[in-house]
Amino acid sequence: MLHGRDTERRVLDELLSAVMAGHSGALVVLGEPGIGKTTLLDYAAKTATSEGARVLRGSGVEFEAELPFAGLQLLLRPALRHLDALPDVQAAALRSALGLAPAGGGDQFLIGLAVLSLLARLAEDKPLVCLVDDAQWLDRATVETLLFAARRLAEEGVLLVFGARAHFPAQGLPELKLTGLDASAATALLAEHADDLAPRLRYRLLTEAAGNPLALIELPAALGDAGSALDTHLPLTDKLRATFSAQLDRLPDATRWLLLVAAAEDTGDLAIVLPAAAGFGATVADLRPAERAGLVVVADGTIGFRHPLVRTATYQGAPLADRLALHQALAGALSGPEHADRRAWHLATASTGPDEAVAEELERTATRAGRRHGHTAAATAYERAAQLSPAVAERARRLVLAAEAAAEAGEVSRARSLAAAVTEPPEDPELRARLVQVDALARFGEGRASEAHRLLLDAANLAGLGPDQSLELLLEGSYFGWFAGQRELAESLDRLTALRHEPGGARGAMARLLVAAISVLLDRDVGPADLAALGEQAGLHADAPHQLLLVCGLELATGQDAAVLSLARRAVTEARAAGRIARLPNLLFLLAEAQLAVSLHRDALASATEGNQIAEDTGQHQWRGMHAGVLAYLTAIEGDDTRCRDLADSVLAAPDGPGTHRATWALGVLDLGRGRAAAAVARLATLAESPSAYGVAVTRSVPDLVEAAVRLGEPARAGEAFDRFTTRARSMRQAWADALVARCRALLGPEQEAEHHFTTALSLHGKDRRPFEQARTELLYGEWLRRARRKAEASTHLRSAKETFERLQARPWLERVEGELSATGVAGSGGGHATLRGPLAQLTPQELQIVRLAATGQSNRDIAAQLFLSPRTVGHHLYKAYPKLGVQSRAELASLTLHDPAAA
């Protein structure tokens, strides 16, 4: 009976009702040991089973924390026969993670997607409830995989519930925090398990237990023991542990040895426990006293402890010498390649000094873990191998490997700590360079880009490094310099131009692009360099993720938007196909920026929305700010004041955080569109004065500053920024940039030259069509023509602008152009209510993506694999989209126009 948990049961009942109706959900039940987490999970399992749902159960084990995906394997073991139903790349990734196949491609989050697909497959015939107890003891790879799957649950009919202590990292999932039972429930529970207590003892026990259900059940057993838990002032968990220890002390020696071996063996497999315990004189018959005492349960060839604290009390209560002996015995019992990792860790735990043979086994374990994307476990294994290394050189090498693995896992501070543990720099220059790279990457992750830049540029001069290795360090240092500032960029440029050899391949292409692009960004004479050609060459040769990202970033900053659009699309497609989910937030941001630049606003909305969600699901919070800045700008164009400010404020809450420039620009554009010229100038002038003068938002916001300053009657406020923009545009050699320069000159220059500049701008817009900017130029020209009393000519340009603003749903600009049309005497121009034309009008960004893919004939399974959803969720979105599009089946989608309206 569940005493005092009515509220908690209602929460679980509501989730179970939802999952029975085909929806999905997740919950984290948090609380101290013994507070009732397992009991609530038992309640969920019993209720789900009675309602016809399928139940999977798993649990974290403290001694498994260094074995990647051990917890996942335990949870999914009954479901592995369904792996063949998954897309091939997902099935391969999951098999690799579970040690059932060689290492494959993709990244750790692809494994999470495979788990999502597998759970959705299991839920196809009946709802599925997954319950994971003691989640705080799960290995990190399992935690990240299950959390990724949980965050992407939608309409699969799957419920995932974790039971964990308070420090379980499950940001973004709903939580249910358990506290102690109230006095009435505690009294009832105690009476149920110990109804013959004297009043004095009952009162004392209720006081000591403080509402903890396990304490109320277990502490009565300690009342008769000398020095019992009730006679101490230990914390409650320690009292419970002491209670279990007292029960263990009453067992025969052979039984205690058998339980001690079982406590140290993470699977509970009697085929391993019994041979290891035999050396201590224990046999299977010695299990009976522990079973009679209710300390363990033996079933299906495994031994399980009644509660994790029983396991902890068993293991921690043994002398150190005994623990070392039992780990050695377990290592001997674990033969065969399938047990190699567990054997290595038992040997390492049993070691009391340097041992190269054990260090080698641990290094092999670490290598296997890294190949399976268990980078945290790999770092731990490499670190322990370093501690066991007799030779200084081997210790240093393994510490470098540990630091690299920690950096790959995103554990920045740990990576730096491991790098700092190398007290004597390695003699091998390549290894020393790798050590510096880890240190630099960690500092960059901590927001110290300037230090990272300095470390790498200095390391490029290390004696003994080949020219290719030195150039690699220079290129990586230049990447960090991009985020550090103009001084660092200038130094990178000087070092690259001083190279004494002409590098070839990917590094050479990158170096040439960097020299040309940084020259443009620093407003230096770039000569006849063709940035588009250099970018194309570098993009084709890029052989590392950071190189591809740098190519896109440099091209975007130097105005090569068409090239970025093509390259980013290709990179996103390749990342989807290969399952490189962690790269997508960065790539989708670059794609969204390029789409926004060329007025593909609906496409940019879809890219930024997806990128923002994946960043959330993968814990890459730095990219949330970048995507929020793009989304804020899009809502500014649409005139959604509340949404724009909410998005921008979420970014600007961290003054130096990612996306602040784009968010500030968004607020400036919102003010400009709404006619708040003074507010727009205040924001955009501050942005123009930013030290990051080469930033995309800083540069491209200048035409908006010019327009706002002219409307305010203070054109000089934009003069210096416009001069810089003119210089940059000249180096970019792009028609769109030249068009904006001409438009600004029409606003700033002598009245008699304005028309020439406006017509020049429109001619240039025709060479590089960007509907939003072209419509803005036509609006400004139409305003000028109306003031010159040339109403017929004005109305022609204003009508064209109106049509574009309607397509783009740019309400503030539409209202402005309609006001101008009314002033020209054109009838029927009022209203100011933009309506997006075409079948895309009501689709959400995700529905738009799914509908477009479905229109090409792809199945739900194919679409799910690309968008990292479950097939059932894809079907749900299609079901909602059909009525909005006025169709009844996917066959009708092919006849619809599903491209971005701005591309028309």
What are the tens digits of pLDDT across the range 681-706? 999 999 998 876 668 899 999 999 99
Q: CA 493 to CA 477: how far, in whole Å?
A: 11
Mean pLDDT along residues 544-555: 81
For residue 277, pLDDT beyond 50: yes
How high is the pLDDT of residue 840? 67
Residue 451: pLDDT band with limits 50, 70, 90: very high
Mean pLDDT along residues 662-674: 96
Residue type, 780: L
> Quick one: what percent of the chain has pLDDT higher than 90?
59
For residue 184, pLDDT beyond 50: yes
Q: CA 548 to CA 561: how far, in whole Å?
A: 15
Q: CA 3 to CA 213: how far, in whole Å?
A: 9
For residue 815, pLDDT beyond 70: yes
How high is the pLDDT of residue 528? 58
Closest CA to 51 of 141, 143, 129: 129
Q: CA 427 to CA 754: how far, in whole Å?
A: 68
With H, G, I as helix, E, B as strand and everything else as coil, classify residue 46: helix
How high is the pLDDT of residue 267? 79
For residue 833, pLDDT beyond 70: no
How high is the pLDDT of residue 102? 81
With H, G, I as helix, E, B as strand and everything else as coil, classify residue 356: helix
For residue 58, pLDDT beyond 50: yes
Q: CA 346 to CA 264: how far, in whole Å?
A: 9
Residue type, 625: G
Mean pLDDT along residues 871-897: 87
Residue type, 100: L
Q: CA 331 to CA 324: how far, in whole Å?
A: 11
What ranges in 598-659 are assigned the alpha helix state H?
A: 601-618, 621-638, 641-652
Q: CA 41 to CA 779: how far, in whole Å?
A: 63
Two structure tokens written together for 899 = 């491209």
Residue 904: pLDDT band with limits 50, 70, 90: very low
Q: Torsions phi, psi of 56, nearest 5? A: -115, 135
Q: Is 780 left (phi over 0), alpha (psi -120 to 50) or beta?
A: alpha
Dihedral sign (CA 222, 223, 225, 231) = positive
> Quick one: what percent of the chain has pLDDT higher than 70?
95
How high is the pLDDT of residue 834? 44
The DSSP annotation for 685-745 comes to: HHHHT-S-TTSHHHHHTHHHHHHHHHHHT-GGGGHHHHHHHHHHHHHHT-HHHHHHHHHHH
Q: CA 41 to CA 791: how far, in whole Å?
A: 74
Q: Torsions phi, psi of 714, nearest 5? A: -130, 65
For residue 800, pLDDT beyond 90: yes
Q: CA 751 to CA 794: how far, in whole Å?
A: 17
How high is the pLDDT of residue 485? 81
Per-residue 3-state assignment (H helix, E strand, C coil) for 178-196: CCCCCHHHHHHHHHHHCCC
36: DSSP letter: S
How high is the pLDDT of residue 526? 63
Q: Which of 88-97, 352-361, 547-556 has the highest mean pLDDT?
A: 352-361
What ranges in 768-810 are assigned the alpha helix state H?
A: 771-787, 791-808
Two structure tokens written together for 282 = 């224990």
Query: How far apart, in Å, do the first and last CA atoms of the chain sit?
Result: 66
Q: CA 73 to CA 66: how far, in whole Å?
A: 14
Q: CA 772 to CA 778: how far, in whole Å?
A: 10
| Cβ proximity of 262 and 273 under 8 Å | yes
What are the tens digits of pLDDT across the range 144-179? 999 999 999 999 999 999 999 988 988 889 999 999
Mean pLDDT along residues 793-805: 94
Q: Kindly calculate the radius of gyration of the chain based on its CA atoms and give it in whole angstroms.
A: 33
Q: 43-47, 425-429, 814-818: which range is least confident on average?
A: 425-429
Q: 480-489, 625-634, 878-887: which range is least confident on average?
A: 480-489
| Cβ proximity of 638 and 673 under 8 Å | no
Question: For residue 654, how many other CB atoms are within 10 A of its CB?
Answer: 12
- Please state, rounded to an integer, the average pLDDT across all residues of the chain: 89
Strands 296-299 and 302-305, by their bridges, are: antiparallel
For residue 680, pLDDT beyond 90: yes
Which residues, at least 6 apart from 740, have a Cβ–Cβ distance to it below 8 Å?
A: 703, 725, 729, 761, 773
Q: CA 258 to CA 137: how far, in whole Å?
A: 23
How high is the pLDDT of residue 534? 86
Q: CA 15 to CA 754: how far, in whole Å?
A: 65
Closest CA to 781 of 821, 743, 818, 753: 743
Which residues, at least 6 apart from 878, have a Cβ–Cβ distance to it below 8 Å?
A: 850, 851, 854, 860, 890
For residue 835, pLDDT beyond 80: no
Where is pLDDT greater, at 604 or 506?
604
How high is the pLDDT of residue 720? 94
Which residues, at least 6 apart from 766, have a Cβ–Cβ distance to it below 8 Å?
A: none
How high is the pLDDT of residue 838? 57
**Integer CA distances (angstroms), 156 to 129, 162, 731, 792, in order:** 11, 18, 53, 59
Which residues, at least 6 apart from 898, have a Cβ–Cβ distance to it below 8 Å?
A: 839, 840, 848, 851, 852, 855
How high is the pLDDT of residue 752? 92
For residue 452, pLDDT beyond 90: yes
For residue 866, pLDDT beyond 90: no
How high is the pLDDT of residue 693? 63
Q: 20-24, 392-396, 504-508, 777-781: which range is least confident on average?
A: 504-508
Where is pLDDT greater, at 576 or 132?
132
Mean pLDDT along residues 73-80: 92
| Cβ proximity of 787 and 758 under 8 Å | no
How high is the pLDDT of residue 218? 84
Where is pLDDT greater, at 761 or 523?
761
What are the tens digits of pLDDT across the range 214-243? 888 888 876 655 445 566 667 788 888 888
**Integer CA distances (angstroms), 724 to 523, 720, 765, 774, in order:** 8, 7, 21, 22
Two structure tokens written together for 216 = 């109320």
For residue 669, pLDDT beyond 90: yes
